[in-house]
Amino acid sequence: MENAKSKTWDEQGLNDLAAAVRAGDRASLARAITLVESRRSDHLAAAQSLLTRLLPETGKAHRIGITGVPGVGKSTFIDAFGSNLTAMGKKLAVLAVDPSSGRSGGSILGDKTRMEKLAVDPCAFIRPSPSSGVLGGVARATRETILLCEAAGYDVVLVETVGAGQSEYVVADMVDLFLVLMLPGAGDMLQGIKKGVLELADIIAVNKADQAPDQGRRAARDYASALQIMTAADAPWKPPVLSISGLLNQGLDDLWAQMQQHHKIMIKSGLFHERRQEQTIKWMWAMVEDRLLSRFRANPEVKAALPDLMADVKDDRITATLAAEKLLAHFGMGDFI
């Protein structure tokens, strides 16, 4: 069997791969994902060529992001919730954005033990986080993987993140609905989750409701009033707070009903397409910024001038603005020197 990582793709190969992805062949989908994850320059071109072929078949899935602190029950939840979806006849893809997974060895894979049902479910496709380590690179690969899964006919794409660094923001920017899982315990308001994450939430679910129902209800009330303050009075969608148990599969039908309601309201208000369009434009600019910056940093003259200029800035011999100008001048982009 040919190694997808070292393969060279020609037009015929890409046509065949696109056809196999469209037909829903899992091994081909996995191979296509390996291609979009690759950073080899001929692979970058081949991946774009493949995605361009598949673009007409993309866009049709419910794209759902999930975050929550380690231990909140994400994997257990995804296994139960995902199995409910496949039992309804849906095809489900589970992806992850975990920029640290390169070091820790791929969290979702290790988690497959916690996704026992989905791991053997023919209607589910689980893919661990790409391990390139840089959030920007992981995000690009994951966005393009969403497109590939859509072309392969997956109806729901779940993107999990552990919430390291900026990863919640990155995931919220690639999905239609962002679900935040919370723990019922007192002090969780402060403990786990960064406050900004609440602002990203379209739905909050207080998990482990089986364990401490009273605490769970109290936490749900707290989050609900926090959300009420943050949500504009005329917003078409007011993020609800639900109590669930991933372990016992409680409240998950209601959660799915809320997700569908969200979808309906967002479509009706025009916000669904607006959000997707904003996301792709933002993504385009992020790619431009990434590429410009890496060109800039790789420029030999910039590299040569950098150590002295940094020392000058640190010791206040030169202003930061002037140092930036000098660096840009080395790049042929100076404005005033």
Ligand X SMILES: Nc1nc2c(ncn2[C@@H]2O[C@H](COP(=O)(O)OP(=O)(O)O)[C@@H](O)[C@H]2O)c(=O)[nH]1
Contacts of 18 (CB under 8 A, 6+ apart): 50, 53, 54, 151
Considering only 82-90, 208-216, 254-262, 283-291, which stretch makes contact with ligand X by CB under 6 A? 208-216
Query: Which one of ligand X, Mg ion, none interacts with residue 38, CB within 5 to 8 A by kind?
Result: none
Amino acid at 174: M
Q: Smallest gap, in angstroms, from Cβ of residue 114 to Mg ion?
A: 6
Query: Which one of ligand X, Mg ion, none interacts with residue 112, CB within 5 to 8 A by kind?
Result: none
Which residue among 36, 72, 172, 219 contacts ligand X (CB under 6 A)? 72
Residue 54: CB atoms within 10 A of its CB come to: 20
The residue (of 159 and 309) whose beta carbon lies closer to Mg ion is 159
Residue 176: CB atoms within 10 A of its CB come to: 21
C-beta separation of 157 from 42 below 8 A: no
Q: Smallest gap, in angstroms, from Cβ of residue 203 to ligand X?
A: 16
Q: Smallest gap, in angstroms, from Cβ of residue 56 to ligand X?
A: 35
Query: Which one of Mg ion, ligand X, none interacts with residue 58, CB within 5 to 8 A by kind?
Result: none
CA-only gyration radius of the chain, Å: 22
- 3-class state of residue 69 by DSSP: coil
The residue (of 216 and 240) whose beta carbon lies closer to ligand X is 216
Which of 176, 21, 162 lies closest to 97, judged by CA? 162
C-beta separation of 246 from 81 below 8 A: yes
Residue number closest to ligand X, CB atom: 73
* 158, β-bridge pairs: 64, 94
For residues 295 and 90, what is the distance between their CA atoms, to the nearest angstrom?
A: 43
Q: What is the 3-state secondary structure (H, E, C) of 255-284?
A: HHHHHHHHHHHHHHHCHHHHHHHHHHHHHH
Considering only 69-77, 258-266, 268-276, 326-334, which stretch makes contact with ligand X by CB under 6 A? 69-77
Total number of residues that touch ligand X (CB under 6 A): 16
The residue (of 76 and 86) whose beta carbon lies closer to ligand X is 76
Q: Site residues for ligand X, window 96-125 (CB under 6 A)?
A: 114
Q: Smallest gap, in angstroms, from Cβ of residue 239 to Mg ion?
A: 23
- 207 forms part of the interface with ligand X (CB under 6 A): yes
Amino acid at 268: K
- 246 forms part of the interface with ligand X (CB under 6 A): yes
- 76 forms part of the interface with ligand X (CB under 6 A): yes
- 70 forms part of the interface with ligand X (CB under 6 A): yes
* Residue ranges binding ligand X (CB under 6 A): 68, 70-76, 114, 207-208, 210-211, 245-247
